Amino acid sequence: MRNVLKFTSVLATAGVALTLAACGSEGSSSSGASADPNKTLTVIASPTPHAQILDYVKKNLADKAGLKLDVKVVTDYVTPNTAVQDGSADANYFQHVPYLDDFNKKNGTDVVSVGTVHLEPLGLYSKKVKSVAELKDGAEVGVPNDATNEGRALQLLAADKVITLKSGAGTTATVQDIATNPKNLKFKELEAAQLPRSLGDLDAAVINGNYALDSGLKPATDAIVLEKADGNPYANILAVKKGHENDPRVQKLAQLLHSAEVKKYIQDTFNGSVVPAF
């Protein structure tokens, strides 16, 4: 199943990448401060909340700031970075720094953060139980299979004493780093986007905030365990290819994403399921 999912994701990614390349980005050939500030800035983003926040900026703030903004939506975690790397998009907004660092290391890309925008608390969800204590011996729990989010999921479970991890296990921890597992939980590693759709077949699953929101879950009220926001290193970022940080359009978008209007929009719209990180 995991290989089939990966193959499907690769095909979807390839299709979106071809579409982006065909559309092109008006400013993709520009670099840094020399980019034409009057050309459209193409940003590739996950649907919720990233594209939703960008759409708010586009409809309410961009024109007044003199920014032409084009938002491209994808649902996978690969296309946004490859599109920025190859120039078919100018920026992306979907990931946190630990994921970006791991992606760059594995793929030889040089995408960098421009600044943090928000945090989506990772949560443990279930359609079968209402608390961790109700999980039965041998229950099947889904976790994301990408390096940083799997480690993040296991850290969440360890923080709530569902499991313990070996000493030194950090953000890239895997199920092999589990030291004790009192409930003998069986961990099913799936692509992050697949977890909400698989929730009914599992006893519980750790789901990324954006995918939880996309599937109609409300992290602030539906999660039986939820990440703490204080001191969390997983805030989502606006990112560009290295050397394009000073593109005046990128700087303008970063300023708008850090505005009081956007902070209020996030707080009013997501009711604690998405938290401003600025």
**pLDDT tens digit sequence for 181-196:** 999 999 999 999 999 9
The pLDDT assigned to 22 comes to: 43
Segments of 82-203 assigned E as strands: 91-96, 111-119, 123-125, 140-144, 164-165, 178-180, 186-190
Amino acid 6: pLDDT: 35
Domains recognised in the chain with CATH numbers: 2-120+233-276 (3.40.190.10), 123-226 (3.40.190.10)
| Three-class SS state of 59 | helix
Lowest mean pLDDT across 10-14, 79-83, 219-223, 241-245 = 10-14
Q: Looking at residue 20, what is its pLDDT? A: 53
Q: What are the tokens at 96?
A: 């946190």
pTM assigned to the model = 0.74
Is residue 2 predicted with pLDDT exceeding 70? no
Q: What is the pLDDT of residues 128-181, one digit of tens each?
A: 999 999 999 999 999 999 888 999 999 999 999 999 999 999 888 999 999 999
Query: pLDDT by residue (tens digit) across 75-115?
Result: 999 999 999 999 999 999 999 999 999 999 999 999 999 99
> In the block, which residue shows the tokens 């409300």?
218
Tokens read off for 84: 């920025």
pLDDT mean over 272-276? 90
Question: How high is the pLDDT of residue 17?
Answer: 44
Please, what is the angle between helix 79-86 and helix 2-23, to 10°?
Answer: 30
- Read off the amino acid at residue 190: L
Rounded distance between C-alpha atoms, residue 23 and residue 21, angstroms: 5
Nearest Cα to Cα of residue 44 among 61, 63, 66, 21 = 21
Q: Is 82 exposed, middle or buried (0-12, 13-18, 19+ CB in 10 A)?
A: buried
Summarised one tens digit per residue, pLDDT across range 22-53 is 444 444 444 576 778 889 999 999 999 999 99
- Give CA–CA dist 141/121, Å, rounded: 18
